[in-house]
Amino acid sequence: MTKILISAIAALLLCVGLLWWQLDSKTETLGTFRADLAQEQAITKSLIDAATIQASVTAVAETESQQGAQDVEQIRTDIAADDTAERLRYELANLRRRSSFENAGLATELVTARQTIGVLAHMLEECSGFAGVVAGAYEEARARGLTCQRVYEGVRGELQ
């Protein structure tokens, strides 16, 4: 019986050892699973963080892209305004140049017109003076003509 008891205790110890070894193996596997789970959670968190960062970068890039498009449109508007301003400056310079030529021509015409008016006024004064002389001569000639006519009529009346 002692042998059976020793065999039973040995079997029991063997079973306990096997159970202990399996428990230790399971604990080790559980520890490995926990480490793997922690590692996978860390990787998942890193992926979520990377996705969040990517979403933020995408949002910023989209905002910057829109701002860039607005800046490009503003630059185009500024260039168009500069082109328009340059064209207007060119037209203004042309108008000034033409007006200076026209003003020079008008000034020449004005001087010529003033000189012509002066000549015509002088001629009118001379004509007015000459008209007075002619009118005086006419009146004198008329008076002489009337005197001659009266004398003729007087002489004719006596001759008839």
Q: Quote the tokens at residue 108.
A: 């020449």
Place of tokens 């970068």: 57
Q: Is the pLDDT of residue 104 over 80?
A: no
**In terms of C-beta distances under 8 Å and separation of at least 24 residues, what long-range contacts does 120-124 make, across chains too?**
none
pLDDT (tens digit per residue) in 117-148: 888 888 878 877 787 888 888 888 888 888 88
Higher pLDDT, 103 or 67: 67
Q: What confidence tier does 160 reach under pLDDT thresholds 50, 70, 90?
A: low
Q: What confidence tier does 19 reach under pLDDT thresholds 50, 70, 90?
A: low
Higher pLDDT, 120 or 102: 120
Average pLDDT, the chain: 78
Nearest-10 Cα torsion for 109, 115, 120, 125? 160
The residues spanned by each domain of the chain are 1-114
SS3 82: helix
